[in-house]
Amino acid sequence: MPDKTLKILVIQGPNLNLLGQRESLIYGSETLETVHAALEKRSGPLQTSLSFFQSNHEGAIIDRIQAAKKDGVDGILINAGALTHTSIGLRDVLAGTAIPFVEVHISNVHAREEFRHHSYLSAIAAGIVVGFGTAGYDLGLEGLVRHLRRPKS
Ligand code: DQA
């Protein structure tokens, strides 16, 4: 039987709309549009249907995750940006909806300022991809799909 198409929501948090214009030594020169176009290319072979959401607002991201639960989204790929280090509300909605998710960071947050070393999300993530630049989104999508399709006993 062919695998079912998985509905994946890609969430980009605060300031990721500025990718390519912002601190390019840390985040590179690719734009968010380019990153999403590359993910779309991977989406067919992985049998996923992707939707994308970027917001600079914590509440809007929480609302979107609640809506994803109602829409039957199978998995979330999320770079929560700075909210990673601050938002208990974001953790609570991810825990409460129990949608499996992979946390992505473009930079190696552990090699940066101490305030970036803690994530409210990591302990409940299916997996984490950190420090591989924008390739982390591809790796994260692949990891998320493998996680969702893993044999369950
Ligand atoms: C980031 C790392 C965060 O600490 C930062 O606030 C971001 C981007 C990353 O992708 O490396 O906005 O999530």
Q: Where do we find the tokens 């390519």?
A: 20
What is the radius of gyration, based on Cα positions, of the chain? 15
pLDDT at 152: 85
Name 134's Cβ contacts closer than 8 Å, sequence gap at least 6: 19, 28, 30, 34, 35, 38, 106
pLDDT at 1: 56
The span from the CA of 23 to the CA of 27, in Å, is 6
Alpha helices in 21-134 (DSSP H): 24-27, 32-43, 58-70, 88-97
Residue with CA nearest ligand 1 atom 13: 81
CB of 128 within 6 A of ligand 1: the answer is no
* CA 39 to ligand 1 center in whole angstroms: 19
For residue 36, indicate whether it is catalytic: no
Residue 2 pLDDT grade (very low, low, confident, very high; cuts 50, 70, 90): low
Query: Which long-range contacts link 17-25 to residues 24+ away (Cβ below 8 Å)?
Result: 17/54, 17/56, 19/106, 19/134
Active-site residue (options: 27, 36, 57, 120): 27
For residue 105, indicate whether it is catalytic: yes
User: Among 18, 109, 134, which residue has the most ligand 1 atoms within 8 Å of its CB, making it the best to mutate?
Assistant: 109
Q: For 56-60, what is the mean pLDDT?
A: 98
Q: Which range, of 18-27, 98-107, 132-141, averages the lowest pLDDT?
A: 18-27
The span from the CA of 21 to the CA of 2, in Å, is 41
Compute the mean pLDDT over every residue in the chain, rounded to the nearest whole number.
96
Reported pTM: 0.97
